[in-house]
Structure 1
């Protein structure tokens, strides 16, 4: 293996990816596994987690699963301590768990606001803090928080989501500032519009899809595989002097009006 390849090699490292039984989280877990990492899948549905793990194992990946609630502080602390003791030191954390709720802001319920903020923002704080407390004494660690083009841009009827992802962007910078002196790198990965189960209705809506493709300099939707290279970069030694940065993988959406 040449020196450049070694920069991106994750062999011997362990990565926890939250919300990774499907969609973007699963794609990122698969990418890290293909780069050599042992991956830990997390999600709420144990059956889906088991299926995702079996699929990854079928291509030679080393996979564990951890079914804990990323929005519950006690569950997070217990799960991270268990993983550290029984799977091994966590070298990489990808905070991917998230959700979307759409409604005009004046009609957006307090219950949905609280649910969305707990899932999209509180989970990043809770899991990030729990993992960082183990990384800090070791003097190393990679944390990748999944942001969004909505960390920068707004759209009708998703003000709450935009607020949550804007907060994740700034929390990422705060984590980098506090934990950088301890040897950690904390960065954000900001997907644009990607074809997933959650966006299927938009993909199949000709009016929206045509608008989006025309709005995107790369003139297409993103495929989840497009995120893997950026994720491996941010999780590997190749990014050892990258800290507090948000890497947008969006086909150029954030670059143009």
Structure 2
């Protein structure tokens, strides 16, 4: 039947062999789950967050699943730190294919009561 996929097409679409993926917020629950799924798909990972202990836990989960896993502490609000991270990725992997941005903070309150500056931070 035209347009019909077999069961393996979706798995093939998720193969990331030799792709380098930067995951920000990799120490959080969502970042950790995404990182492990990327590792299972065969990606090399650069895991970034601000909490070394939780970042190491994510790396320990991903290392047996993927190819190469690099861990970097980085405050993404600091431009110098971002420049250093880019240099590290270039030196370690030679390139970057995919960025998964999971880093962020969450405040409480109604969206319409939130200042634009707070959303930009």
- Name the TM tier (shorter chain): 0.7 to 0.9
Unpaired runs of at least 5, structure 2: 1-7
Confirm or deny that 1:97 pairs with 2:103.
yes
TM-score, normalization by structure 2 = 0.77
Q: 46, 57, 63: which one pairs with 1:51?
A: 57
Unpaired runs of at least 5, structure 1: 119-257
| Cα gap change, 1:32 to 1:60, in 2 (>3 Å) | closer
Point out the more displaced range, 23-32 or 60-69.
Answer: 60-69
Q: For 1:67-146, list aligned pairs within 5 A.
A: 67-103=73-109, 114=117, 116-118=119-121
Supply the RMSD in Å over aligned alpha carbons: 2.4
TM-score, normalization by structure 1 = 0.39
Q: Which has the larger radius of gyration?
A: 1
Distance 1:76 1:55 in 2: 25
Q: How many residues were matched structurally?
A: 112
Q: 60, 72, 88: which one pairs with 2:65?
A: 60
Aligned to 2:46: 40
Choose between structure 1 and 2: higher helix proportion: 1
After the TM superposition, which segments of 4 or more aligned residues of structure 1 sit over 4 Å from their partners? 104-108, 113-116
Which structure is richer in relative contact order (CA contacts within 8 A, separation 6 or more)?
2
Deviation at 1:37, TM superposition (A): 0.4
